[in-house]
Structure 1
């Protein structure tokens, strides 16, 4: 295992996933105080990233499960989840719950986290494919191991930021507004930047 390849893999992961830390922090804040929510978030992040990696590896070998024209439409996933979160926050506020909490659901489900992770990583696939194809089977394995190890680091970073007193207080107060806002914005950016509505 070449240290150069490990460094390149770590750098590529960091550059293409920096925005995930914000989303993960919001998810961890949403699940704060609910037993098992951290496990569900980590599981969802791994499921979503494993799907990104699987599609990228398959495409590097010449198989295309997702045509390039379909990638922008992945933005509909976070957009729909953001609208759902906004509706829940508004409904809880209307019920006199102040918009905080999540109605006892215990934070996001693994499938919600996986859907957002996969949709947000649609553009990553385009970056990963040529790199993995050029790396060959051995290099591809190194990239996969490093990427999957760094998913754990990203989850720890998200949980860390969500539990810092100043950040935790802000997320506790405004998380019910920020989460839908971030998800809706993310969905729209994926749709618009990907050219879903034409260029």
Structure 2
């Protein structure tokens, strides 16, 4: 494998996915105390990211599963999930802290996947030209490096969520931060993409 291509792939992944660490930490904080949370978050992150890679690889070969005009409307996914999380946080606002997880059983894999797809929808536009010019060999390296680094990203999100200071802050404010971040991501995607004439 060409070390230059591996370095480029690692750099591209880091630049296009830096915001995912914050979202992952929030999901891990939401799942604190739920045994299946880590598996659900990792599975959801991989499902969403593999979908993005599949679309980008197909587009690099000339196929388009997802019309470019549809990408801004992916913002509806995190927006809806953020509103749902905010509604749940509002319902539990008077309950004691230890009895108020952001959801009854922690984050679900499909919800994490939906946020991953929506948050990474704009990455497709970056990945396609890179994949198209890298050739099949180079594209394979990019995909492998991305999938390996995704595990590192998941571990980093979990690491940050379990640091005592961060964990205390997320435990206290995570039920508010998660909906705010998801709604913010959704609105940003919709506005930047010009969805609904915004």
TM-score range, shorter chain: over 0.9
Q: Does 1:42 align with 2:37?
A: no
Distance 2:44 2:127 in 1: 21
Hey, what does 2:148 align to over in structure 1? Answer: 149
Deviations 1:24-57 (A, max 9, x none): 0000000011101101100000000000000000
Hey, what does 2:73 align to over in structure 1? Answer: 73
Distance 1:33 1:87 in 2: 21
Deviations 1:57-93 (A, max 9, x none): 0000000111111000000000000000000111112
Distance 1:172 1:80 in 2: 22
Distance 1:100 1:71 in 2: 34
Unpaired runs of at least 5, structure 1:
none
Q: Does 1:104 align with 2:104?
A: yes
Hey, what does 1:23 align to over in structure 2? Answer: 23
Q: Does 1:3 align with 2:3?
A: yes
Alpha-carbon shift at residue 195 of structure 1 (Å): 1.1
Classify the secondary structure of the residue corresponding to 1:26. helix
Distance 1:18 1:150 in 2: 11
Runs of 4+, deviation exceeding 4 Å: none
Q: Does 1:140 align with 2:146?
A: no
Classify the secondary structure of the residue corresponding to 1:93. coil
Q: How many residues align?
A: 197
Deviations 1:176-196 (A, max 9, x none): 000000000000000001111
Distance 1:102 1:185 in 2: 18
> Conserved in 2, the CA contact under 8 Å of 1:100 and 1:172?
no
Alpha-carbon shift at residue 102 of structure 1 (Å): 3.2
Q: Does 1:113 align with 2:95?
A: no
Hey, what does 1:165 align to over in structure 2? Answer: 164
- How large is the RMSD of aligned CA atoms in angstroms? 1.2
> Conserved in 2, the CA contact under 8 Å of 1:100 and 1:173?
no
User: When the two structures are superposed, what TM-score results if normalisation uses the length of structure 1?
Assistant: 0.96
Classify the secondary structure of the residue corresponding to 1:19. helix
Q: Does 1:123 align with 2:116?
A: no
User: When the two structures are superposed, what TM-score results if normalisation uses the length of structure 2?
Assistant: 0.97
> Conserved in 1, the CA contact under 8 Å of 2:30 and 2:103?
no
